[in-house]
Amino acid sequence: MEKKLLLILLLFLPFALASSPAELRLLRGNIVNKRENEKKRANVTLPDYHLYHTMASLLQQVKNIVDRHPSIMQMEIVRSEVDGYSTEMSVVTVSPGGWSVSEMKEESAASEKLRLLLDFGGHARELVTSEVALRLLQMLGGEHDLSKVAGAAVVARLLPHSIIKIVPMENTNGRRRVEAGHLCERKNGRGVDTNRNWDVDWGKKEKDYDPHEEYPGTSAFSEPETRILLQLAKSFNPHVWVNVHSGMEALFMPYDHKAMLPLDQGAAAMQKLLQTLNGQHCSGKCVVGSGGTSVGYLSHGTGTDYMYDSLKVPIALTFEIFGDFSAPNEDCFRMFNPITPAQLESVISKWAPIFFSLLCHLPETLMSMPMRTVKAPWRVNSSSSYTIQDPRLLKQIISLKSHTNHPRSPHVWYGMDALAEGKSLPAVDLQTSTQLYFIFTLMLFLLSCFRCSRFYKRLFKVLQFRSNT
């Protein structure tokens, strides 16, 4: 009898131990957490790599475009390493007017050219930005329709006077983590937000600071990504810097680290430019202003603020090109990227042409910059190429009278006639058009006179008589 009781106690002992309050709470917690995680996974959108390019595929596409257009495009792979952490970055230089001798020797860009530095893919989870960069390169190579470009005739005149550097994917190490399944990753390969690693108000943390989102690194320029971009900006001396992100639709100018606009008329010129672009490409619906006054939080150590305040780049901008506010917090891919083919094409076809519109309005914006912008930031030192050597050049390339017939060359982008679709925008010859108009009018007059003449009436009677007989 005692043995039977002992056996029954041994059988029920595990259940008795598991029935303790602490164990029951832990068991319930594990079940609840498992259910919540399953629910979150059900709400997560996975990238469709039939719709989006993988990192390797996109960079290969970029290389292919450059290889097809060696007369106007060059690409270099820039590598950097800091404390055992390394990265590499593809930089495409587009010179639609062909390569000058100095450019072929990889010296600084000719000072008389308009220079744009465009940075895409800085935050790893924002895949759509690199897709826009790819489309932009296709358009610059004449491989994609430019019919949606506003002011196409002006753009055709300005492109030969411009040089554009494009970084299609800044954060390659972070992108690898996204493609490995870390869909909410925005930082680089060692957990640093490169758009918080610049030396303007670096390291300052707001009350809502989240190290998982915006860890700025151990010091300003501690990361190889920002060091590459810094050296690129210093050597290139751009008139325009644009840092492209997603998360909302906005056209931002400095400042990100304080809730205010710069206190000069240069800021007014930038704001006017953004308002124009907003009307042309956002139907007036994009947020326009400074990031610090519009986003709802301050960002310290951003590239745009450094370009404007420290490197004195005249026009420093941040474009935010997409955001899905209905997406749950855990669905990072959907929050920052369109998920259907139609939606993706809509975003790309809307934002890739904006850089041509920006170029179209660039000369007048630069010409309206005040003394503070023209004489200080454009002359950083005696060897700076910010100063446009011939002040008549900008007036010439913006003037409607400057559109002359250039000799055609297969090696130079001379306007829309270089498009693969065969579209062309020939110059409007007012004199020829006027002559044709007068000739046409004279012919109508002569026909009218002939109709009223006696000879016409006799001819008409003869023809009528023959028809009756």
Q: What is the DSSP letter of 253?
A: E
Q: Are strands 240-245 and 287-290 parallel, antiparallel or unpaired?
A: unpaired
- Residue 48 backbone phi and psi in degrees, to 5: -95, 105
To the nearest 10 degrees (0 to 180), the angle between helices 265-281 and 354-367 is 150
Rounded distance, CA 3 to CA 173, Å? 66
Rounded distance, CA 382 to CA 375, Å? 12
CB 125 within 8 A of CB 336: yes
Burial of 259 (0-12, 13-18, 19+ CB in 10 A): middle
Rounded distance, CA 461 to CA 451, Å? 13
Rounded distance, CA 200 to CA 204, Å? 10
Amino acid at site 459: L
Task: Supply 224's token pair.
Answer: 């190889």
- Residue 132 backbone phi and psi in degrees, to 5: -65, -40
Rounded distance, CA 315 to CA 241, Å? 6
- Residue 78 backbone phi and psi in degrees, to 5: -100, 130
Query: What is the sign, positive or negative, of the torsion defined by CA atoms of 180, 181, 182, 185?
Result: positive
Catalytic residue IDs: 320
Residues in contact with 319: Cβ distance below 8 Å, sequence separation at least 6, in sequence order: 242, 243, 244, 245, 250, 251, 252, 351, 354
Q: Are strands 240-245 and 162-167 parallel, antiparallel or unpaired?
A: unpaired
CB 427 within 8 A of CB 403: yes
Residue 237's nearest CA partner among 151, 109, 127 is 109
- Strands (E) across 255-333 are located at 287-290, 315-322
255 prior amide bond cis, ω within 30: yes
**Any bridge partners for residue 287, and if so which?**
250
Rounded distance, CA 227 to CA 81, Å? 10
First-last CA distance in the chain: 141
Q: Are strands 114-119 and 162-167 parallel, antiparallel or unpaired?
A: parallel
Residue 122's nearest CA partner among 63, 60, 175, 61 is 175
